[in-house]
Amino acid sequence: MQTENLIPENVKRIGVMVSGGIDSALLLYLMSKENKEKGSPIELTAFTIHRHDGAEHFSNQIISTVEKMLDVTIPKIAVGQPTAHSNKQVQTGIFEATLKHKAERVYLASTAVPEHLNIPNFAPNRDPNNYKSVFQPWVLILKDQVIKYIVDNNLDILAKASHSCTSQSYGRCNKCFNCLEREWAFKINNASDCGID
């Protein structure tokens, strides 16, 4: 799992899509930490899409948490079309982040779909490719590795700030793909999920 050297030398403006989930929380933390340690060579922006699942509230909570953890300021911008089909929302956000807000590269914290949850019309369609302006450092690993890093590095505060359920804006339905994936990833690590929302 890549957790270091996430920032390339030849890029000055990078965006991180912050969904409100635990993966993007960790990615924002790691990239902000690396940027600070390197003397802030890039303009790092958190982009969010204000969807019905509470993304705005939890994205803001994650950004605020990371800012306090690292004593940094992270600009945040809402992008995309929250009313678009769920498969297209992220695409509209990337399009706006790169064209309107001039992000040279947008990072997504997508992970691979676990085999036991890879059910047609249930699992999300996660594109495993990287592109010139879109980079997914964890797209070939499973969420259990993200959770392992969080547990091993005592970053429970990121779990507390995040929200994975896509069926309701607060709490967990324990039925949607994201709820089941998160529950599985914590269980694999013999860890309890300290997130209350």
Q: Is residue 67 part of a domain?
A: yes
Q: Is residue 114 part of a domain?
A: yes
Question: How confident is residue 195, by pLDDT bands cut at 50, 70 and 90?
Answer: low
Q: In the Cβ-directed half-sphere of 194, how many Cα atoms lie within 13 Å?
A: 12
Domain range enclosing 146:
13-188
Q: Is residue 159 part of a domain?
A: yes
Question: How confident is residue 197, by pLDDT bands cut at 50, 70 and 90?
Answer: very low
Looking up tokens 């807000």 gives 101
Q: Which helix (H) or strand (E) holds 81?
A: none
Looking up tokens 């896509």 gives 166
Calculate the alpha carbon distances from 89 to 48, 86, 109, 144 in Å: 10, 5, 15, 25
* 24 pLDDT above the threshold of 90: yes
Q: Which two tokens stand for residue 106?
A: 């947008």
Q: What is the largest CA-CA distance in the chain?
A: 45
State the pLDDT at residue 104.
97
Angle between helices 143-152 and 177-188 (to 10 degrees): 50
Q: How many domains does the chain have?
A: 1
Average pLDDT (29-40) is: 97
Q: Is residue 7 part of a domain?
A: no
* 196 pLDDT above the threshold of 60: no
Q: Is residue 4 part of a domain?
A: no
Average pLDDT (121-128) is: 85
CB–CB of 109/21 below 8 Å?
A: yes
**60-94 residue pLDDT tens:** 999 999 999 999 999 999 998 878 776 688 889 99
Average pLDDT (4-32) is: 96
Q: Which two tokens stand for residue 104?
A: 């040279």
Query: For the domain that residue 93 is a member of, what is the CATH number?
Result: 3.40.50.620
CB 91: neighbour CB atoms within 10 A? 15
**6-18 residue pLDDT tens:** 999 889 999 999 9
Average pLDDT (51-58) is: 77
Mean confidence (pLDDT) of the chain: 92
State the pLDDT at residue 54.
66
Q: Is residue 52 part of a domain?
A: yes
**134-167 residue pLDDT tens:** 999 999 999 999 999 999 999 999 999 998 888 8
42 vs 9: CA distance, rounded Å: 9
Q: Is residue 152 part of a domain?
A: yes
Q: Is residue 197 part of a domain?
A: no
Sheet of strand 43-48: strand arrangement:
76-78, 43-48, 13-17, 105-107, 134-135
Question: How confident is residue 55, by pLDDT bands cut at 50, 70 and 90?
Answer: confident
